Structure 1
Amino acid sequence: MAGYGVKLVRKVSSTRAFAKVAPHVIPAFDRAVHRLTRGRVLPSARMLPGVILTVRGARSGLPRRTPLACMPEDGDTWVLVGSNWGRPGHPAWTANLLKHPEAEISWRGRDIAVRARLLEGSEREAAWRAVLAFWPPYASYQSRVEREIRLFRLHRLPEA
């Protein structure tokens, strides 16, 4: 049954209708539940691993908190996908990371200082293949937009 649920979510999340509604509903719900449970629960992470990214705004410099799906990797690194649900334009959090690569994630209830790096070239190609194997709907998101979806690798910073 769990396999069927994942297949259904993958199919639904690949649709244009989902791309129109989800960006307005899922992040707000995730932020509210995450705050109410003091970082213990992130509802969307029931399907895909997720983090709450806190990064300074590119223009404002103010902290911006964004719930995001992520692909955890071995060695305390995570890949973030700037898919914007297959909508035109890069999501704002990607511009924030480009300007302010030092950020923080809430991962499984722990706050972790990280540094983000935009992936390019062959490193991006390898990560993109891994991302598609991890969550195939990203392919449909890429097919709907002319821009190349940004991928970032987050590296844990040493604890002070």
Structure 2
Amino acid sequence: MPNDFNQQIIDEFRANNGAVGGYFEGGRLLLLTTTGARTGAPHTTPLGYLPDGGDRVLVIASAGGSPRHPAWYHNVLADPQVTVESGAFTYPARAAVLEGEERDQAFARAVDTDPGWAAYEEKAGRVLPVVALYELAQDGPPNIRASSFGEAIKVVHDGFRRELALIRKEMADGTALGAQLRVNCLTFCHGLHNHHTGEDLGMFPVLADRNPESAPVLARLREEHEQIAALVEELRAAVSSEADGGGGGGGDGPDGPDARAEIERLATELEAHLTYEEEQLIPLLEGV
């Protein structure tokens, strides 16, 4: 059973679709449910996480610097099938402990972003395990924490808004585009691409069939998807250029403003798009 502190975070997380205050405010948080190695009972733990591409996220078994591994880590060693709650989505996942150079590189990225991870490791006197959580494919639509299609789209959009705000803050706080921040940007781009592709191929045809009068709105949204996709590609290119030590077209070097400029352009266009889509589609979706 979770302790009182953890339970408060879990309750707040679920009540607010991943948004919490206090110690975790402004951070990336997920809920990890494992099967107890001794009890066989489900055990839910709030954990900070690191984005790591399109199919997995990383969590670190720090236990706040305790000399002993946390219970959730022992659980995933015994049974790697877990459930992840990301705020908007709940999905089954497979936990895999990173080893060797892969682990060291991932941990170095974490420390580069937040030196507190190194302090935890020093305090613990042990190598902190890094665990990858791979999302498992499911049949049917994703499991979104919402009671209606209209609410679902708002929940998903708010998740993108929170992540984009975090990336913008991380860029504003740093003088260089560190390795983890590059991964954060590329992971965000991947998720946004998948979301818009799903709308174009899934949601929009259904709405067009049921609401023929919505054709102009859907045409505009598709056009905006294409415009945002172009901005996403420009951001990817800027991030990749800075990772390679180039300054992009501006000649500003690896710490230049190119990626920051691109994320601001994307943020402006995306927020306008999300707002318009909610205004136009939520009334239609509430009738689906």
Please, what TM-score do these two structures have when normalized by structure 2? 0.44
Hey, what does 1:100 align to over in structure 2? 79
- Distance (whole Å) between structure 2 residues aligned to residue 109 and residue 45 of structure 1: 17
Segments of structure 1 that go 5 or more residues without pairing to the other structure are: 1-23
Aligned length: 137
- Distance (whole Å) between structure 1 residues aligned to residue 61 and residue 42 of structure 2: 18
**What is the CA distance between 1:134 and its match in structure 2?**
2.4
- Distance (whole Å) between structure 2 residues aligned to residue 135 and residue 42 of structure 1: 19
| Residue pair 2:18, 2:86 contacting (<8 A) in 1 also | no
Pair 107,134 (structure 1): closer, same or farther in 2 beyond 3 Å: same
Q: State the identity %.
A: 28
SS of residue paired to 1:130: helix
- Distance (whole Å) between structure 2 residues aligned to residue 42 and residue 97 of structure 1: 25
Hey, what does 2:138 align to over in structure 1? 159
Q: Which of residues 32, 51, 56 is equivalent to 1:77?
A: 56
Matched, 1:146 2:158: no
Partner amino acid, structure 1, of 2:116? P
Return the structure number with greater relative CO, CA threshold 8 A, min gap 6.
1
Greater percentage in strand: 1
Matched, 1:29 2:1: no
Pair 75,101 (structure 1): closer, same or farther in 2 beyond 3 Å: same
Partner amino acid, structure 2, of 1:137? G
Segments of structure 2 that go 5 or more residues without pairing to the other structure are: 140-288
**What is the CA distance between 1:25 and its match in structure 2?**
6.6
| Residue pair 1:51, 1:68 contacting (<8 A) in 2 also | yes
SS of residue paired to 1:27: helix
- Distance (whole Å) between structure 2 residues aligned to residue 39 and residue 55 of structure 1: 20
Pair 57,125 (structure 1): closer, same or farther in 2 beyond 3 Å: same
**What is the CA distance between 1:73 and its match in structure 2?**
1.6
Q: RMSD over aligned Cα, in angstroms?
A: 2.0
Higher Rg of the two aligned structures: 2
Please, what TM-score do these two structures have when normalized by structure 1? 0.77
Matched, 1:60 2:21: no
Hey, what does 2:19 align to over in structure 1? 41
**What is the CA distance between 1:38 and its match in structure 2?**
6.5
